[in-house]
């Protein structure tokens, strides 16, 4: 009996089956959950690992990944996108200084959640900004990421020396008013940022996909994290943020992420639309 | 066959070529045009879209992540992001550069081939590198239509030549001024 198999134009349907099975396998074997990641980029990263392992099909990659944890480790590196920078998108930090800082001044104390903080560059940038605005004593930053390894780097606060020129430039464009070099000391292994900057920062592991809300915040920034998620997971995270924000709290997204994707869009008004700063009004 | 998306890749000389293409584009050609144009990472946000808007009525914009893809729009990949399509909406990424490029034409085209297959048209314009060649081959293999700017008429001929070599030719090889007419035939001519 001939089995009914798909026509060639259904090849992409076949690929989707293989992707689904692989991700399900990874989840059940290792506990990493990539099932709700944006499919187009995910497929590219999987294909890169296929090339790296010299296999022709996703099913073959699946077999390797399930039987060999070292292959899983390599795949994990392909799937984790941790790129970040200090004062990334300087105009965002400028808008934060001009439009969010005055709001923070009206509170005796405020909490900021940096969700998906990666190796911490964004946290140190915010901490510098708050120190310059004399708000350090009145704010607490909670910095979280799914990945323990990047949080460890963030806690250390040592960033590549060769980046300092770029970061200095960003800092100035972000409205920085001091000598950027006074915030770090050059060491053989990198630029060690002042510990005092992050004295009151709480670093913690937190998975946006599965962990619950853990506090009420006046500001949540989640930049360049949700672009890696598919739409249902984005909805889920937006709900989490909505529930975690105080009334009149601020939500900051990445330069190319829009509140239009949020099921709670109607509850926000634009604070600085170009810079993706929104305010929860109901 | 009806085409639902036109993907365009350009590098060196692309602003000029893309302007000429838009100048000649008939309003009836209504599939969305999606452009990956190489440029400096610190290019001003939205600047390329603004320049191109001068050449065409339909809206030209840099899409946000997960933005729906609409007909009769021109979409430009933002500087320093890869632009990918899913079925009906965009997806952005800051994954590593591909062949030194972000946006990468190959990344856009390969996602177009996967999501739109025979409903896609891929166009490679002027440039001085090999980006777009693999992507055009993928669109062709998926059953889509392919167009390459005639290398002899291109400001930089290397990229169109590389695309032709890897994809094994194209459905049309044309000076950029003649591409709008060919798109009209593909998208409107077939409907008549
Ligand atoms: C591209 S980095 C963004 C870093 C920083 N926010 C910025 O804009 O520069 C994305 C980060 O999101 C984290 N991430 C991915 N999935 C996550 C999840 N489900 N929960 C929490 N963090 C996640 C990754 O580990 C990575 O560090």
**pLDDT given at position A24:** 97
The second-level CATH assignment, the architecture, of A90-280 is 3-Layer(aba) Sandwich (3.40)
**Does A165 reach chain B within 8 Å, measured CB to CB?**
no
CB of A16 within 6 A of ligand 1: the answer is no
Per-residue model confidence as pLDDT tens digits over B13-51: 999 999 999 999 999 999 999 999 999 887 788 899 999
* Ligand 1 touching residue A150 (CB < 6 A): yes
Active site residue B95: no
**CB burial readout A10-40, b (16+ within 10 A) else e:** eebeebeebbeebbeebeeeeeebbbbbbbb
Mean of the pLDDT values across residues B97-103?
Answer: 91
The fraction of chain B above a pLDDT of 90, given in percent, is: 89
**Which residues of chain A have a pLDDT value below 70?**
1-12
Q: What is the 3-state secondary structure (H, E, C) of chain A?
A: CCCCCCCHHHHHHHHHHHHHHHHHHHHHHHCCCCCCECHHHHHHHHHHHHHHHCCCCHHHHHHHHHHCHHHHHHHHHHHCCCCCCCCCCHHHHHHHHHHHHHHHHCCCCEEEEEECCCCCHHHHHHHHHHHHCCCHHHEEEEEEECCHHHHHHHHHCEECHHHHHHHHHHHHHCCCCCCHHHHEEEECCEEEECHHHHCCCEEEECCCCCCCCCCCEEEEEECCCHHHECHHHHHHHHHHHHHHEEEEEEEEECCCCCHHHCCCHHHEEEEEHHHCEEEECC
Phi, psi values for residue A131, rounded to 5°: -65, -45
pLDDT of residue A8: 47
Test site for ligand 1: of A31, A121, A146, most ligand atoms within 8 A of the Cβ: A146
Are A41 and B115 inside 8 Å of each other by CB? Answer: no
Residue B11 designated active-site = yes
Closest CA of chain A from B123, distance in Å: 20
Distance (Å) from the alpha carbon of B111 to chain A's nearest alpha carbon: 6
Residue B131 among the catalytic residues: yes
Q: Report residue B139 as tokens.
A: 């669109």
| Whether pLDDT at B191 is above 80 | no
Name the residue of A38, A41, A42, A116 to mutate for ligand 1: max ligand atoms within 8 A of Cβ.
A116
Chain A contacts of B75, Cβ < 8 Å? Answer: none
Q: What is the rounded CA–CA span in Å between residue B177 and residue B150?
A: 10
| CA of A9 vs chain B CAs: smallest distance (Å) | 7
Q: What's the pLDDT tens digit per position in A237-250?
A: 999 999 999 999 99
Domain spans of chain A, in order of start:
8-79, 90-280
- Is residue A208 within 6 Å of ligand 1 at its C-beta? yes
Cβ–Cβ below 8 Å for A256 and B64: yes
Model's pTM, two decimal places? 0.91
Residue with tokens 């810079």: A275
Predicted pLDDT of residue A105: 97
What value, to the nearest 5°, has the Cα angle with vertex A34 and ends A54 and A46?
A: 20
Report the CATH number at residue B95.
3.40.50.180
Judged by CB atoms closer than 8 Å, whether chains meet at A258 and B67 is answered as: yes
Residues from chain B contacting residue A43 (CB–CB below 8 Å): 114
Q: Which of B94-98, B132-136, B138-142 has the lowest mean pLDDT?
A: B94-98
Q: Alpha-carbon distance A175 to A161, whole Å?
A: 22
Domain encompassing residue B53: 5-191
How far apart are alpha carbons A203 and A196 in whole angstroms? Answer: 14
């Amino acid at each position: 009996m001939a089995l009914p198999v798909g026509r060639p134009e259904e090849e992409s349907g076949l690929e989707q089956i293989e992707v689904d099975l692989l991700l399900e396998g990874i989840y059940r074997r290792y506990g990493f959950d990539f099932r709700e990641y944006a499919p187009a980029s995910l497929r590219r990263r999987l294909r890169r690992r296929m090339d790296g392992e010299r296999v022709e099909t996703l099913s073959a990659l699946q077999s390797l990944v399930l039987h060999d944890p070292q292959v899983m480790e390599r795949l994990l590196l392909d799937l984790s996108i941790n790129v970040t920078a200090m004062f990334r998108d300087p105009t965002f930090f400028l808008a934060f200084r001009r439009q969010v800082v005055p709001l923070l001044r009206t509170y005796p104390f405020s909490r900021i959640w940096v969700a998906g903080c990666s190796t911490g560059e964004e946290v140190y940038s915010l901490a510098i900004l708050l120190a310059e605005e004399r708000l350090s004593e009145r704010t607490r930053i909670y910095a979280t990421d799914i990945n323990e390894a990047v949080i460890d780097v963030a806690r250390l606060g040592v960033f590549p020396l060769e980046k300092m020129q770029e970061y200095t430039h960003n800092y100035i464009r972000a409205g920085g008013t001091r000598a950027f070099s006074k915030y770090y000391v050059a060491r053989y292994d990198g630029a060690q940022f002042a510990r005092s900057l992050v004295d009151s920062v709480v670093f913690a592991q937190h998975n946006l996909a599965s962990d619950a809300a853990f506090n009420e915040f006046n500001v949540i920034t989640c930049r360049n994290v949700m672009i890696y998620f598919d739409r249902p997971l984005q909805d889920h995270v937006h709900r989490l943020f909505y529930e975690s924000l105080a009334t009149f709290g601020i939500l900051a997204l990445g330069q190319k992420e829009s509140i239009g994707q949020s099921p709670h869009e109607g509850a926000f008004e634009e604070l600085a639309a170009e810079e993706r700063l929104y305010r929860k009004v109901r | 066959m009806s085409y639902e998306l036109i993907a365009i890749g350009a590098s060196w000389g692309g602003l000029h070529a893309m302007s000429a293409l838009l100048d000649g584009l008939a309003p009836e050609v209504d599939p969305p045009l999606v452009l990956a144009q190489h440029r400096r990472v610190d290019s001003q946000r939205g600047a390329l879209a603004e320049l191109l808007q001068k050449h065409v009525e339909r809206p030209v914009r840099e899409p946000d992540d997960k933005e729906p893809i609409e007909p009769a729009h021109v979409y430009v990949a933002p500087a320093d992001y890869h632009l990918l399509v899913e079925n009906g909406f965009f997806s952005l990424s800051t994954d590593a550069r591909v062949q030194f490029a972000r946006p990468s034409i190959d990344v856009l085209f390969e996602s177009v081939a996967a999501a739109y297959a025979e409903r896609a048209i891929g166009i490679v314009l002027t440039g001085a590198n090999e980006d777009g060649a693999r992507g055009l081959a993928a669109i062709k293999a998926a059953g889509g239509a392919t167009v390459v700017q005639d290398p002899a008429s291109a400001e930089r001929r290397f990229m169109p030549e590389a695309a032709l070599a890897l994809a094994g030719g194209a459905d049309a090889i044309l000076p950029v001024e003649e591409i709008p007419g060919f798109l009209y035939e593909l998208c409107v001519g077939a409907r008549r």
